[in-house]
């Protein structure tokens, strides 16, 4: 488990590392439903697809990224619910798992 903070001075490095994990077949979990978190999940999913794949494809191995956030929809505080649901569906079509109304309380070994 590696935890990287977005919104800090190393945003570009964290995004590059997340995309590298996806390209290598790994899974990335992003916490939060902000614009930055949503964009990172979309970028990670794009990085995990082969270059000749269409935009709307899901990896056979499962999702490349999971977005977890406490609101009902991504960008829930900024978008109308209908638009937020549409954004969530688009992320899912691109290979993300979207977990709304969830919070992470512990990260580490069980």
Q: What is the pLDDT along the chain (110 residues), one digit of tens a residue?
A: 556 665 655 678 888 888 999 899 899 999 889 888 899 999 999 998 876 665 555 555 678 899 999 999 999 889 999 999 999 999 999 999 999 999 888 877 76
Q: Give the pLDDT confidence score for residue 3 in this predicted structure.
A: 62
pTM: 0.82
Burial 7-23 (b: 16+ CB within 10 A, else e): eeeeeeebbeebbebbe
Q: Give the pLDDT confidence score for residue 8 in this predicted structure.
A: 56
Torsion, CA 39, CA 35, CA 29, CA 98, rounded to 10: -90
């Amino acid at each position: 488990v590696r935890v990287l903070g977005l919104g800090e001075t190393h945003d570009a490095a964290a995004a590059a590392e997340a995309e590298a994990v996806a390209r290598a077949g790994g899974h990335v979990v992003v916490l939060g439903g902000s614009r930055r978190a949503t964009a990172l999940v979309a970028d990670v999913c794009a990085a995990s697809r082969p270059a000749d794949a269409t935009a709307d494809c899901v990896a056979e191995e499962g999702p490349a990224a999971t977005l977890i956030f406490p609101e009902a929809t991504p960008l829930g505080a900024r978008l109308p619910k209908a638009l937020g649901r549409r954004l969530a569906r688009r992320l899912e079509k691109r290979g993300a798992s979207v977990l709304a109304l969830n919070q992470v309380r512990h990260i580490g070994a069980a």
